[in-house]
Amino acid sequence: MAFEELIEAWDGEGVVVHHDEPTSSWMLIGVHDTTLGPGMGGTRLSSYRQPSDALDDVLRLSEAMTWKQAAADLPYGGGKAVIAVPEVPTPGSDDRRALLLRYAELVDSLHGTYVTAADMNTGETDMDTIAERTSHVLGRSTANGGAGDPGAATALGVFHGIRATVLRAFGDDALEARSVLVQGLGSVGSRLAGHLHDAGATLLLADVDAERATALADELGAKVVRANDVIGTECDVFAPCATGKVLSEDTIPLLRCRAIAGAANNQLATAGDGERLRDAGILFAPDFVVNAGGVIHLAGRETLGWDDATTASRLEAIGDSLLEIFDRAERESLSPATAADRVARERVAVARGE
Ligand SMILES: NC(=O)c1ccc[n+]([C@@H]2O[C@H](COP(=O)([O-])OP(=O)(O)OC[C@H]3O[C@@H](n4cnc5c(N)ncnc54)[C@H](O)[C@@H]3O)[C@@H](O)[C@H]2O)c1
């Protein structure tokens, strides 16, 4: 789709489009909704087939952030940015630093309407660089006074989400009696696997990087599942922690699990896939509720002044929020995905005075 059509079809507040001459990159910032606070969301550094694919990503992801922040009850709205580069510059290189400093000036020009953080291919070192030119950034390294990498908090939040989902799907939350298949063993998935191991779950681990999967499986006494075999593998809980759109018309009929709860953003390929899962008798924990640990950590630590105990209890509350969503879904005969969407939209509507 062309730029004009994408923007016309989007109901967000604004999008900034900047072409970076020195690198022929596109810098795109989507601010979807600022009713609850400044649009907050990460900066994705990636190559795309064409600039409109990057715009499509930024528009969709910034909207998803609106609902994630609202569901987590944080004083932030939805925003997201993409730097669409011909080639991702090497971490630590002069080229990367120069690109990020120019990007930081663009973020700063919005005077806080958008607050950035790390996302795919960016991390706390990059946030340190960005912070040299703007204060509207979360997730700097702890050495520089920031909250650091949110992966650990996201993983702990997902763990609480899995426990609540197991409680609802099986009637008790004893993870010792359950098998969990974790797809993607990066920053979040590897830590989640550690929590599940400590809780006594039977672990199945998969990653496109087979060596990574084998090494972690050896460490945790888990079984490796080949990345291509994930969808048809029998397990109690499937935890997608790699990429989005893993749950679709094609994959749902092949699933052999009772419940799904994981970190990946936008797990449903289409809005109708929430109903499809419900019809298949699979309990789906909506991703934007389950994976909010990262934004809870960043906002709590850097903006709201929470101590360790408050942050920990807010991460634990992800489980309670899910149980409320499952209850509402049952009461109103909705899929959990639709119920979560309604909860988030109602919070924004109430704040708007609607
Ligand atoms: N890091 C966070 O705090 C955070 C917060 C919210 C949501 N998320 C989402 O959670 C997911 C994981 O995030 P992360 O930070 O751990 O990413 P990461 O890049 O550190 O790890 C992703 C892992 O998935 C593997 N992978 C990629 N495609 C795969 C496939 N098809 N099958 C199996 N493995 C595959 C990669 O090899 C890698 O090990 C992403 O979708 C991300 O958007 C992350």
Do residues 128 and 169 both lie within one domain? no
Beta carbons of 295 and 345 less than 8 angstroms apart: no
- Rounded Cα–Cα distance for residues 188 and 278 (Å): 26
Where a domain ends, among 116, 144, 172? Answer: 144
Structure token digits, residue 334: 């909705």
Nearest C-alpha to atom 9 of ligand 1 is from which residue?
A: 264
Show pLDDT as tens, one digit a residue, over the chain (354 residues).
889 999 999 999 999 999 999 999 999 999 999 999 999 999 999 999 999 999 999 999 999 999 999 999 999 999 999 999 999 999 999 999 999 999 999 999 999 999 999 999 999 999 999 999 999 999 999 999 999 999 999 999 999 999 999 999 999 999 999 999 999 999 999 999 999 999 999 999 999 999 999 999 999 999 999 999 999 999 999 999 999 999 999 999 999 999 999 999 989 999 899 999 999 999 999 999 999 999 999 999 999 999 999 999 999 999 999 999 999 999 999 999 999 999 999 999 999 998
15 C-beta neighbours (distance < 10 Å), count: 19
The CB of 151 under 6 Å from ligand 1? The reply is: yes
The CB of 243 under 6 Å from ligand 1? The reply is: yes
Domain membership flag for residue 13 = yes
The CB of 193 under 6 Å from ligand 1? The reply is: no
- Rounded Cα–Cα distance for residues 81 and 134 (Å): 15
Domain membership flag for residue 292 = yes
| CATH number for the domain that contains residue 35 | 3.40.50.10860
Q: Give how many domains the chain has, as a whole number.
A: 2
Domain membership flag for residue 72 = no
CA of 331 to the centre of ligand 1 (A): 33
Q: Which domain holds residue 27?
A: 3-65+77-144
Do residues 161 and 208 both lie within one domain? yes
Q: Is 68 a catalytic residue?
A: no
